[in-house]
Structure 1
Amino acid sequence: MTATEQSGVPATAERRPRRTKSIVGWLILVVLVVLVVFVAIRVSAAPPGEHGALDPEGRDDSGALALAEILRDQGVEVDIHRSRAEARAAVDGGTTLVMANPYTLTDGALETLMEPADRVVFLSTSSHLMSALRIGENAPGTRAAVTAGCDVPEFAEVGTIRADRLFAPAAEVEGCFGDADGAAVLIDDRGGDRVAVVEGTRLFSNAYLAENGNAALALALLGQTERVVWYVPSFSDSDIEGKSVDTLGSLTPPWVTPAILLLLLAGVAASIWRGQRFGPLVAETLPVTVRASETMHGRARLTARAADAAHAAEALRDGAQRRLARRLGLAVHAGADEVADAASDRLRIPRGTLQTLLAGPLPTDDAALVDLARRLDELEAAVETSTRRPTIHPTEAEGTT
């Protein structure tokens, strides 16, 4: 028996397997972390879907394949182009040029594309497009179910629609499905050619085309000629030349990145080296335990004593907004407008009806505070119920009809 064994100290051969197991465990942990980071980077850098909103070949809820098929069933030839040069060459006096908001084109490219067309329909728009067309500007609020209310013959049999966005028409521009303060559809015949603008991101999508008079409105806008040239904007067909700006990586000297990596490796090695010197964690009882309910009731009593209804209402809104964001699949710190829009889409109610509830003026007395709390609770219950309700796929809905 050796002196080491007689003294009770483990031999080197006995300590080595333990150290080897510890190193192997740390290596496995590092590999797992690297794999998780790699997967997260790949997922976050994944490109968007092949077809975007109101794409005539898109089969998802935001696509417009159903609208394109309805046009074909009515005898209208739908010619789809993803190149503005091909779309311009295909346009003649007897066709209708259709496109969503051409956010990838400059004003000059858009004017060149529209030049040979007698009829142009924009299925979605932006403030910049409205300014470029000089057709009007955005108007606040949304509309309940309204009829055309204008002299355009095509809209006589449309029925009612529920618009998500309104526009204030410019001078000599006719507004339909609204009034002088705001209309859902703008018709511009000032230059001899007709230009129509509508926010149809929801009206004409596969998910909502069958509601109200949406399909009839689409046919009234696009079905007046025997042929439709549908241009689909994309970044691959953009003429906007971006200018590269200086970034932190371009301004950093080349030796900084290797130095940072070396410091990270040194930190990991130091953590492994020093971490083996510590024993197991020891649980220590805290001297004082305060329940969360006691803290909540204490803050509530202070607020009630101060008669600060506005502060209490702000706390109620903050909590309701965070819970709604979680149930709607939004970020935890999503703004009130984002939560209101998502809740409106989920409950299928006009946008703008929930902005006042989540971001409007705060109550000044206890009665208004109680009413606000009740309405917030009803909104959360409605969203919770809608998340548990089974969703019917558009293809199944078509099968039932």
Structure 2
Amino acid sequence: MSIVDAPVSAAVVPDGDSAVPSTAAPHLPGRGRRVLGWVFVIALLLGIGLLSMRFVAASPDLTGTLNPESPGPGGAKALAELVRDQGVDIEVTRSRLSAADALDADATLVLTDPYALTDEAATTLMESADRVVLLTSSARMLRLLDLGEDAPAESGAVDAQCALPEFARVGSIDAERMFMSATGVEGCFREPSGASAVLRADVDGRTITLVEGAHLLANDALAENGNAALGLALLAQQDRVVWYVPTFADSDISSGGGASIADLTPGWISPAILLLLIAAIAAIVWRGRRFGPLVAESLPVTVRAAETMQGRARLTAKAADAPHAAAVIRTGTLTRLAARLALSPRASVPEIADAASDRLRVPRTSLYDLLGGPPPQSDNELIELARRLAELETAVDDAVRTERNRP
């Protein structure tokens, strides 16, 4: 067997006794594909940024809860229509200035927690009215008006149990939020523990009433117990109602007064972040992949075909794969026999066996079994098969040589 030295350019694919260098260059993606990939990444980042800005900039809807114009479950349109049926005029406003201008001695100011306003603006708005109804259980309003504090609620309905005449015919209500009234504040719809569902106070000639309206006066709860009667007792005592709905557009809260993130962080944070960014960019430039087509270079190695053959043989022996080894030996024998018998390299096993039988004057059946029979299952059977195939090749060589030497 000859040894062929083959320098490898990119990869060596050994085949039997020879090694063929592979000169096929790797397929490189075009510039257009890379550009499209970067465009997709940039578009994805822009989309994420715009979506984040939308969530940050969007204001929560403050008009749904106890909005007198909302027919939803949390709105108060049913209560507003019920009050209008009693001949009371309701003016809905979303401006505190408009609400203050619309208030007079015959008007009731109705509002939920005005958390779009500062304490000063909320106090100024309520000072414009002689009668104020707060449909909220906000701890901020309890503190601001000094009405009391939250109290645990007990299960079950409660009656008015107070001397205020407008609540005499309300009946019972099932309140979700209860309050402990402060000194000078009268509590109605009290529990045995002293907690009340409605607080009434007179502050500087103004009457202020507080109740948790989201559970009692919303559209989906107005028909329960005496909730509707409670709404009329609160809102139908005067000829006009000015209902203020807070919005962020009417807010007087300034964002410039609070401390920013830069004010709250140490002074060394910004230089450290800048230094880390510079280090990251330097690392990317230093270790990052260079753009451009790949260049195929010859490797300074020489791979001997015999080494590949011996390596495969050792692997086959280590695996104890006699059938595979027999298939390789038979393939080599068939290739050499076809060449010596002047047959096509694609000749089948029966064709080669017939040609060899004609030259050697031996039964075809025995050659069929030798060249294409079942594979051996042990090393001894493999050795015997290899010996018989070697004898067959020698016999064919002798027969062909004899024919050529005949005159």
Q: Scaled by the length of structure 1, what TM-score is found?
A: 0.57
Q: CA deviation at 1:158?
A: 1.8
8 Å Cα contact 1:172/1:190 also seen in 2: no
Q: 1:36 to 1:156 in 2, by over 3 A?
A: same
SS in 2 for 1:201: helix
State the match for 2:103 in structure 1. 91
Q: CA deviation at 1:261?
A: 9.4
Give structure 2 stretches of 5+ with no counterpart: 1-7, 11-19, 295-407
State the match for 1:204 in structure 2. 217
Deviations 1:259-289 (A, max 9, x none): 7499489769978889xx9xxxxxxxxxxxx
Deviations 1:287-344 (A, max 9, x none): xxxxxxxxxxxxxxxxxxxxxxxxxxxxxxxxxxxxxxxxxxxxxxxxxxxxxxxxxx
Q: CA deviation at 1:256?
A: 5.1
Residue 239 of structure 1 aligns to which amino acid in structure 2? D
1:109 to 107, 113, 121: 121
State the match for 1:293 in structure 2. none
1:148 to 136, 155, 160: 160
8 Å Cα contact 2:62/2:247 also seen in 1: no
SS in 2 for 1:7: strand
State the match for 1:311 in structure 2. none
State the match for 1:235 in structure 2. 248
The question of 1:124 aligning with 2:136 is answered yes
8 Å Cα contact 1:139/1:181 also seen in 2: no
State the match for 1:41 in structure 2. 52
The question of 1:223 aligning with 2:224 is answered no
Deviations 1:51-105 (A, max 9, x none): 2422223343322222222222322111112222221111111111111112233
The question of 1:245 aligning with 2:259 is answered yes
Q: CA deviation at 1:153?
A: 1.7
Map 1:271-350 onto structure 2 (within 5 A): none
Higher RCO (CA 8 Å, separation ≥ 6 residues): 2
- Provide the C-alpha distance between the structure 2 equivalents of 1:141 and 1:239, rounded to a whole number of angstroms: 35
The question of 1:8 aligning with 2:8 is answered no
SS in 1 for 2:200: strand
Residue 109 of structure 1 aligns to which amino acid in structure 2? A
8 Å Cα contact 1:63/1:206 also seen in 2: yes
CA RMSD between the two structures: 3.8
Q: 1:257 to 1:143 in 2, by over 3 A?
A: farther
8 Å Cα contact 2:148/2:181 also seen in 1: yes
- Provide the C-alpha distance between the structure 2 equivalents of 1:41 and 1:80, rounded to a whole number of angstroms: 34
Q: 1:42 to 1:110 in 2, by over 3 A?
A: closer
2:41 to 19, 30, 39: 30
Q: CA deviation at 1:155?
A: 1.6
State the match for 1:181 in structure 2. 194
| Percent identity of equivalent pairs | 41
State the match for 1:135 in structure 2. 147
Q: 1:264 to 1:234 in 2, by over 3 A?
A: farther
Residue 217 of structure 1 aligns to which amino acid in structure 2? L
State the match for 2:207 in structure 1. 194
Q: 1:219 to 1:272 in 2, by over 3 A?
A: farther
The range that moved more, 181-190 or 206-215, is: 206-215
State the match for 1:329 in structure 2. none
SS in 1 for 2:150: strand
The question of 1:79 aligning with 2:79 is answered no
2:72 to 34, 48, 60: 60
Deviations 1:80-131 (A, max 9, x none): 1222222111111111111111223344433332234221100013223212
- Provide the C-alpha distance between the structure 2 equivalents of 1:26 and 1:171, rounded to a whole number of angstroms: 71
- Provide the C-alpha distance between the structure 1 equivalents of 2:75 and 2:285, rounded to a whole number of angstroms: 49
1:168 to 180, 194, 201: 180
- Provide the C-alpha distance between the structure 2 equivalents of 1:268 and 1:155, rounded to a whole number of angstroms: 78
Residue 44 of structure 1 aligns to which amino acid in structure 2? F
SS in 2 for 1:93: coil
Q: 1:28 to 1:206 in 2, by over 3 A?
A: farther
SS in 2 for 1:120: strand
Q: CA deviation at 1:254?
A: 8.8
Give structure 1 stretches of 5+ with no counterpart: 278-401
- Provide the C-alpha distance between the structure 2 equivalents of 1:236 and 1:172, rounded to a whole number of angstroms: 36
Residue 102 of structure 2 aligns to which amino acid in structure 1? A
8 Å Cα contact 1:58/1:65 also seen in 2: yes
Q: CA deviation at 1:198?
A: 0.6
- Provide the C-alpha distance between the structure 1 equivalents of 2:197 and 2:107, rounded to a whole number of angstroms: 24
Q: Computing the radius of gyration over CA atoms, which structure comes out larger, 1 or 2? A: 2
2:171 to 156, 159, 162: 159
